[in-house]
Amino acid sequence: MRLVSRVAAAGEYHRSMDTPARIKLADVAAAAGVSVPTVSKVVNGRYGVSAATTEAVQRAIDELGYAGNLSAAALRAGKTQVLGVLVAEFDPFAAELLKGADKAARGSGYELLAHSGGFTHGWERRSLARLGGTLIDGAVIVTPTVLDGDMVVPVVAVDPHFGPNRLPTIDVDNFDGTLQATHHLIELGHRRIGFLGGRSELDSAQSREGGFRHAHAQAGLEVDPTLVVEARYQAELAATITESWLDSANPPTAIVGANDVSAIAAMNVAQNRGLSVPADLSVVGFDDVPDAALATPPLTTVREPLHDMGAAAMQMLLDRIDGNSTDTHVRLPIELVLRDSTAPPRPGRA
């Protein structure tokens, strides 16, 4: 007997040295002299507890600093008043969306949890399965690549890489983006324009190429097939393709990148060859990531309203959860941001 209690005391002493005891419902119940379920009712504001008891429990809660255990509550109740924003990684794109989503969620009665699922294939599905249904009551998923069928919880996708037909979606008019960008170059006088395409299996990439082609058609221009190559949104590929174009007998005077990364890579290649951007080569990007404005020269590009997209996605999720949802697709406007990487072609080279 004596021994046991001394051991216990030692254990507690040790614990208080590093990790203090996590106070739980049972501790509060003991302190208030009531049962565990009663405390639970008070915590969750359920009816059927006397004012006196409520007050006693509340005092115990405050004194002990009880804050609950999300995992346990989630597991049991199946809902949590927490919404998730699921991303592959916290990159600039995702961070911006997150800010918008946070703002939209404010005051909704839901807390926000953002989760980065890593780069592995199928992160969308895995994150959703691991968190959905217990930890989070719904999710905004950012740029999912694969995600089919019914979900365990309400889900809204932002800029999914597979048309807006499968999931409630927030996206931008990718077609219109490259349309404007290409139109801008044509208006400056460019006639040979290269297109560094995205990942052709993705919906967004196809739309962006479509806009590029349509701008040419509108202007009565032919698209040289050798000037439309798939750079798969990657810097290295974009650089290689740009090299080969500039090596050719009849190089383009301007390039449209399907994303900023490709466009910036193209600028670098040109500049490393002693060419001037935009005097010798004009370049336009897509996305307007922070790097675009910081590039030398600052990159003309198509801006997506990231902040608004995050807010719109969260709002749509909230609507779906409340049940008063009708929208299934919101498309936000893009905007061509003119900076210093575009100019008329050199005389005689157009």
Partner DNA sequence: CTGTTAGCGCTTTCAG
Partner DNA sequence: CTGAAAGCGCTAACAG
Indicate the burial class of 302 (C-beta count within 10 angstroms; 0-12, 13-18, 19 or more).
Answer: buried
76 binds DNA (CB under 7 A): yes
89: CB partners within 8 A, 6+ apart: 116, 118, 119
46 binds DNA (CB under 7 A): yes
204: CB partners within 8 A, 6+ apart: 159, 161, 171, 174, 198
Burial string for 1-29 (b: 16+ CB within 10 Å, else e) reads eeeeeeeeeeeeeeeeeeeeeebbbebbb
**Binding to a copy of itself, residues 120-149 (CB under 8 A):** 125-126, 129-135, 149
Binding residues for a copy of itself, total number by CB under 8 A: 49
58 binds DNA (CB under 7 A): no
**Binding to a copy of itself, residues 50-79 (CB under 8 A):** 65-72, 74-75
Residue of 42, 112, 314, 334 that binds a copy of itself (CB under 8 A): 112
For the chain, the farthest-separated pair of C-alpha atoms sits apart, in whole angstroms, at 100
In which element (H, E) is residue 161 found?
A: none
Task: Say which amino acid occupies 275.
Answer: L
Identity of the residue, 5 or 326, whose beta carbon is nearer to DNA in the bound complex? 5
43 binds a copy of itself (CB under 8 A): no
59 binds DNA (CB under 7 A): no
The distance of closest approach from Cβ of residue 130 to DNA in the complex, given in angstroms and rounded to an integer, is 9
Residues near a copy of itself (CB under 8 A) are 16-20, 22, 65-72, 74-75, 89-92, 95-96, 98-99, 101-102, 106, 111-118, 125-126, 129-135, 149-153
Residues near DNA (CB under 7 A) are 22, 24-26, 34-38, 40-41, 43-44, 46-50, 52-53, 68-69, 72-73, 75-77, 134
